[in-house]
Chain A
């Protein structure tokens, strides 16, 4: 009993399979040849001319095409597929039909002058690794920033903080900065035997030699006395007043910006043009210069120039 039912089951399963495949099977005398790399199928079967003439030409051609396309698709579906970004894609093999090239294959180029030189010297191409933030340097930078914030001083620029790998330029810059951070701006620092003297460094103030040009000295002393003697004020009141107004404007707009900045940046933009306000102040002061400030401000101003 059981044996019969198993056989029946098997037979039924086979039938079902055949049914399923019925829709995609095509009967052909000769199997088709395929070139899946190019998505081409070659059908070498003889075409029945009588059938072609009996049926309507288009219908015959269409059914022939349908059968051949079905076989081609069956063949394509046999190849491995993979999923690429939510799309199922079939991996095609290399094309098999030999097709002529467009241009002849490239000729090997003669090596360039550099390539020859490199070969001669045995220089190999070194791949430059991408710059990555060095952890040691990062820690150091953060530590210095914290100190600066605590003591309200400025952090030295990039390159002056110690890092693990420092290039030649970084080191050179650090050395120069260190040298010139002395009271005499690096003018009297000891130099290495072959090191050249630094140009454009040193103190920016020049003093006349103590015993030198006597006539020059005499002239300078007399000029000084003349200036002290004259009644005209050495201060250009106009200029002084303008400067003061500019500074006031700048302070005002800076204060406004800060206020605006704390509330909302967008609002602050309109009033926050510190530099613009300063510029406006320059033009304005011309008219106001003659007015009241002359007395008081003149007295307060001679120190600033």
Chain B
């Protein structure tokens, strides 16, 4: 560890928050600019920062690095701000209006995908009332490319990781306002952001009407840097403690019926309690025997 042991409780809490945990914190994103940027890129970075607030940091200064060649400065920043997602915007003649989305595992670059902005409408261009900051968005990925192409699959995972927000056990139904829709079509990826209005329908589930709030991007896929399969495997490994504890002795069949096994002790069949028949009860003395005989004959007639 490069730093000394914490001396105050507050410092200790701070470091424990950043230490590896079973259930992790929300992934923080660092949004930064490259050596040269255009108006489009700076505005785009600001808009995405607005979407990702409060778990994002927007750097104002330019960083003269090239993520695809050298990732040391990215890793340094990630250690400083405890961020595992990054968005690097740059602009040059060869790659105009370039955005690089990426993520890190254990403060080393895991994967990154370069997207070029072909068309862009910012939040301020689209005049409408916006969603409150920090709403958990609904994400939709449309187009079969997201299922067939490797790079698109990786992009899908990256975008989900980037925009999903904190993982919560429950969500307020009225708070499902924000929708981010990604469409993969003809080599391009269209990102649109809508505000969903829940209208009355005849039944419990509401009818959805959408109103575009922006920002809206038309991306084209440029370079990618994916990690090796081994690294992906290590990164996806979940600690055993998180797996739900399996209750022994309970099984389900195909219909969903729950089965369990009851274990009983050995039973003495002679002393097993069946229906009580008063006549069969043991009586004392010879008179009793006669009575028993009489009664049993009676019983047999009854049964018939």
Contact = CB atoms under 8 A, between A and B. Distances in A.
Main secondary structure of the interface of B (DSSP, over half): mixed
A102 B24 contact: yes
A42 B141 contact: yes
A40 B238 CA distance: 21
A90 B192 contact: no
Main secondary structure of the interface of A (DSSP, over half): mixed
B164 A49 contact: no
B239 A73 contact: no
Contacts of B236: 98-101
Contact of B185 (A24, A47, A89): A47
A149 B204 CA distance: 69
A107 to B, nearest CB: 8
B84 interface: yes
Contact of B201 (A24, A37, A105, A106): A24
B118 to A, nearest CB: 12
B21 A106 contact: yes
A152 B153 CA distance: 87
Nearest to A72: B138
Contact of A65 (B140, B170, B202, B234): B140
B86 interface: no
Interface string A95-136: 101111111111100000000000000000000000000000
A41 B27 CA distance: 21
A47 B143 CA distance: 6
A188 to B, nearest CB: 52
Measured as residues with beta carbon below 8 angstroms from the partner, the interface class of chain B is 35 or more
A72 B186 CA distance: 25
A259 interface: no
Interface in A56-74: 58, 61-62, 64-66, 68-70, 72-74
Interface stretch (B63-71, B206-214, B260-268): B206-214
Interface string B179-194: 1010101100010101
A102 B103 CA distance: 9
B185 A52 contact: yes
A106 B24 contact: no
Given A40-B139, A41-B139, A100-B236, A69 B196 contact: yes
B262 to A, nearest CB: 30
Interface residues of A, number: 53
Contacts of A38: 139, 160, 164, 167
Contacts of A21: 202-203
B285 interface: no
Contact of A105 (B167, B207, B210, B239): B239
A90 B194 contact: no
Given A41-B141, A49-B186, A70-B207, A100 B103 contact: yes
A28 to B, nearest CB: 11
A166 interface: no
B132 interface: no
A39 interface: yes
Contacts of B179: 65, 69
B140 A103 contact: no
A196 interface: no
B22 A106 contact: yes
B203 A24 contact: yes
B142 A40 contact: no
B170 A46 contact: no
Contacts of B136: 39
Contacts of B237: 101, 104-105
A23 interface: yes
A190 interface: no
Contacts of A247: none
Contact of A62 (B146, B170, B173, B192): B192
Contacts of A46: 144
Interface string B137-175: 111111110110000000011001100100111111110
Interface in B2-41: 19-22, 24-25, 27
B106 interface: yes
A72 B142 CA distance: 12
B57 to A, nearest CB: 15
Given A102-B27, A106-B22, A69 B210 contact: yes
Contacts of B289: none
B141 A65 contact: no
B288 interface: no
Contact of A64 (B27, B142, B164, B172): B142
A57 B136 CA distance: 27
Given A65-B179, A66-B208, A88-B174, 20 more contacts: A23-B202, A24-B205, A38-B160, A40-B164, A41-B141, A61-B190, A65-B140, A65-B210, A69-B194, A69-B210, A72-B138, A90-B173, A92-B170, A100-B110, A101-B237, A102-B104, A103-B20, A103-B21, A103-B84, A104-B20
20 contacts: A20-B201, A39-B164, A39-B176, A40-B139, A40-B141, A42-B140, A43-B140, A52-B185, A62-B192, A64-B183, A68-B181, A69-B208, A73-B176, A73-B198, A88-B174, A89-B171, A102-B84, A103-B24, A103-B106, A106-B20
